[in-house]
């Protein structure tokens, strides 16, 4: 009999690899006892990554969610682990050092045992502080190697990175094969190298099923000495998710390893609860395509954790492209055609922006940049027209050192726009901020919470926390669920019927008749669907669909009518595909009207403000 292999259930990542959301806290607490009863898990991934932003979007308190969710596992002696994005903490953008340090203290107090830290650029400088902060808080520091496949990312590259992290104090190493494109033999060699240098350092393998390599990879890393294997379970395994617990257990048992037995009665109970949660509302956000294996992913190398949200975003992008085509009597594009164009564009963009490992947030950045290029090309425009500020930070080195070199066309664009490249420590770009958030909480009469957990949440997710506190987040979420349910349940004939709707704008009720089919529209309605706006001056139009914000954090001051602006100034942001896209003034002038409220959804070509 070979040595023991232990399993970790990726309950958070299972959901976020399938769709947009994870279960509510009441659902999490309901399923936890059955997961424990299965008797086969040494570890469970309970939080981290986008988990807490999802709670805020629900209108739930994320701190209560983490405490209530981790508690039963702690009591059962099962370790809990979270995903930590190093410089980015729990979000898509960099985090000040004092907020990062508080992060670990809060999560340890809430019951999380292991911090699985990764830098999306594999820049060890970004991971090093997290090792120290985790260990100071009494957590296990597990550091990740973000696996991708390129001329740069070799076995030697990853071996050297692992040794550097262990030298800095990492307690464990995670082989984070986030797209499932790590080649099995190479991964086996990597694990063997780590175990040869540090036999006592635990190694955990995380992978996604997508392109079809990961079952072979699991076998190879186990042969090389891996200690823990991350697994998913039906009905959320395979596809953009992970290898299934039952399959992995059977394969490793046949190979002679000691693996835990599974209480199948409890397994079926958990499986039934997962389906119950999907039927409740979570299935509304899960594309059926995410359940499919797709060898096309070998080329673009996009991660499974991102593919869930990608398919949801794709619907909006496709609608935008087809609106443009409809106005010009051009043939419509299908979702499959758009997906292939996107994959091809990712393959084009990725080497030109320096081969960042395709993991959060940089997978989103590369995908978003590719999507913006595709949309521009389909609308007769040139590539690289819209690059979000966060993406520029990656390109310029503010988020860390890129593994590869930038294409001349990107360097030329940066220089043309007078953008400065940065070669120092990325953390230096983001000054401490906790005092500022303490002051804001005091002004708002908000409690900083047990172990300063509410302070942490506000500092980590300012815009989402404010929407949660105001009740807007819950209101928007419930409205979106209701809309999706209605769309799912309606008859195809419903679209043929005229409808009269009552719409409230700034407290004023308006009755609107919506007509379908070939009808004559008033001249103002035929101008691309732009909403009416007061004030004089030239229109500032939204370049894409998303949510409008005047600022993206509390360090910025929101514009107001009467303010002067210069050409190139940031006027506001449209948040789409998890990035804030800056809207810049195209001319000097004075803001005469701001036509939409922060947090409102906008469509492409909607009027955001007027400048005279």
d(CA 497, CA 502): 16
- Helix residue ranges per DSSP H, 207-330: 214-224, 245-254, 264-280, 304-327
605, 536: one domain: yes
Distance CA 342, CA 334 (A): 12
Q: Grade residue 376 by pLDDT with cuts at 50, 70 and 90.
A: confident
Give the mean pLDDT of the chain: 88
Task: Classify burial at 304, counting beta carbons within 10 Å of its beta carbon; exposed 0-12, middle 13-18, buried 19 or more.
Answer: buried
pLDDT over threshold 90, residue 448? yes
Q: What CATH number is associated with residue 567?
A: 2.40.50.100
Give the largest Cα separation in the chain, rounded.
Answer: 80
Please compute the mean of the pLDDT values over residues 563-586 and round it to a whole number.
84
Give pLDDT, residue 510: 46
pTM of the model: 0.80
Burial string for 457-475 (b: 16+ CB within 10 Å, else e) reads: bbbbbbbbbbbbbeeebbe
H or E segment at 26? helix 25-37
Q: Has residue 149 been placed in a domain?
A: no
Residue 539 resides in a domain? yes
The total domain count for the chain is 2
Cα(183)–Cα(177) distance, rounded to whole angstroms? 10
Residue 590 resides in a domain: yes
Residue 203 lies in a domain: no
Residue 561 lies in a domain: yes
pLDDT in tens, 487-525: 888 755 554 455 555 444 444 444 455 544 444 444 444
DSSP class of residue 232 equals: B
Whether residues 536 and 606 share a domain: the answer is yes
User: CA separation (Å) from 341 to 306, 345, 515?
Assistant: 17, 6, 33
User: Does any domain span residue 330?
Assistant: no
Q: Which domain holds residue 573?
A: 530-611
Residue 169 reports pLDDT greater than 60: yes
The reply to whether 439 falls in a domain is yes
Instruction: Give yes or no for a contact between 596 and 408, defined as CB atoms under 8 angstroms apart.
Output: no
Alpha-carbon distance of 429 to 419, in angstroms, equals 15
In 10 A of CB 1, how many CB atoms? 6
Query: Has residue 444 been placed in a domain?
Result: yes
């Amino acid at each position: 009999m070979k040595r023991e292999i232990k399993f970790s259930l990726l309950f958070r990542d299972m959901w976020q690899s399938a769709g947009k959301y994870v279960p509510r806290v009441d659902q999490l607490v309901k399923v936890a006892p059955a997961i424990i009863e299965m008797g086969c898990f040494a570890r469970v991934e309970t939080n981290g990554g986008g988990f807490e932003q999802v709670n805020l979007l629900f209108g739930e308190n994320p701190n209560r969610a983490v405490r209530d969710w981790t508690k039963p596992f702690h009591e059962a002696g099962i370790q809990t682990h979270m995903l930590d994005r190093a410089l980015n903490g729990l979000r898509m953008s960099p985090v000040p050092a004092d907020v990062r340090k508080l992060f670990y203290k809060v999560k340890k107090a809430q019951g999380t045992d292991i911090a699985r830290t990764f830098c999306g650029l594999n820049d060890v400088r970004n991971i090093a502080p997290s090792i120290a902060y985790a260990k100071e808080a009494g957590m296990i520091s597990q550091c990740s190697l973000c696996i991708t496949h390129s001329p740069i990312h070799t076995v030697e590259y990853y071996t050297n990175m692992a040794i550097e992290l262990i030298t800095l104090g990492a307690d464990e190493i995670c082989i984070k094969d986030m797209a499932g494109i790590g080649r099995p033999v190479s991964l086996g060699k990597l694990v063997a190298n780590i175990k040869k240098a540090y036999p006592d350092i635990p190694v955990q393998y995380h992978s996604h099923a997508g392109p079809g390599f990961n079952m072979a990879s699991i076998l190879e890393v186990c042969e090389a000495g891996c200690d823990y294997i991350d697994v998913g379970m039906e009905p959320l395994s395979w596809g953009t998710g992970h290898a299934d617990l039952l399959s992995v257990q059977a394969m490793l048992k046949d190979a002679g390893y000691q693996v835990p037995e599974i209480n199948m009665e409890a397994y079926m109970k958990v499986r039934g609860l997962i389906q119950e949660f999907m039927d409740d509302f979570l299935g509304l956000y899960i594309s059926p395509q995410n359940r499919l294996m797709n060898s096309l992913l070998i080329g673009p190398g996009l991660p499974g954790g991102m593919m869930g949200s990608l398919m949801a975003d794709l619907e909006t992008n496709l609608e935008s492209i087809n609106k443009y085509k409809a106005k010009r009597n051009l043939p419509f594009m299908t979702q499959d055609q758009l997906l292939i164009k996107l994959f091809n564009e990712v393959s084009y963009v990725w080497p030109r922006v320096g081969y960042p490992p395709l993991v959060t947030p940089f997978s989103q950045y590369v995908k978003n940049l590719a999507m913006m290029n595709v949309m521009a090309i389909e609308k007769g425009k040139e590539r690289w027209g819209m690059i979000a500020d966060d993406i520029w930070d990656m390109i310029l080195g503010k988020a860390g050192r890129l593994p590869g070199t930038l294409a001349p066309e990107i360097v030329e664009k940066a220089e043309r726009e007078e953008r400065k490249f940065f070669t120092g420590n990325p953390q230096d770009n983001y000054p401490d901020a906790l005092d500022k958030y303490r002051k804001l909480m005091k002004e708002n009469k908000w409690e900083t919470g047990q172990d300063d957990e509410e302070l942490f949440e506000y500092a980590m997710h300012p815009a989402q926390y404010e929407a949660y506190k105001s009740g807007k987040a819950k209101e928007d979420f419930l409205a979106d669920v209701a809309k999706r349910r209605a769309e799912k349940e309606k008859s195809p004939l419903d679209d043929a019927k005229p409808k009269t709707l009552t719409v409230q704008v700034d407290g004023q009720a308006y009755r609107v008749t919506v007509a379908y089919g070939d009808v004559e529209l008033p001249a103002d309605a035929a101008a691309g669907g732009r909403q009416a706006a007061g004030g004089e001056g030239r229109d500032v139009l939204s370049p894409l669909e998303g949510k409008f914000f005047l600022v993206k954090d509390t360090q910025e001051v929101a514009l107001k009518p009467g303010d002067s602006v210069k050409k190139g100034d940031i006027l506001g942001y449209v948040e789409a595909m998890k990035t804030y896209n800056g809207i810049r003034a195209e001319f000097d002038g004075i803001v005469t009207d701001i036509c939409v409220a922060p947090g409102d959804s906008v469509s492409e070509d909607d009027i955001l403000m007027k400048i005279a």
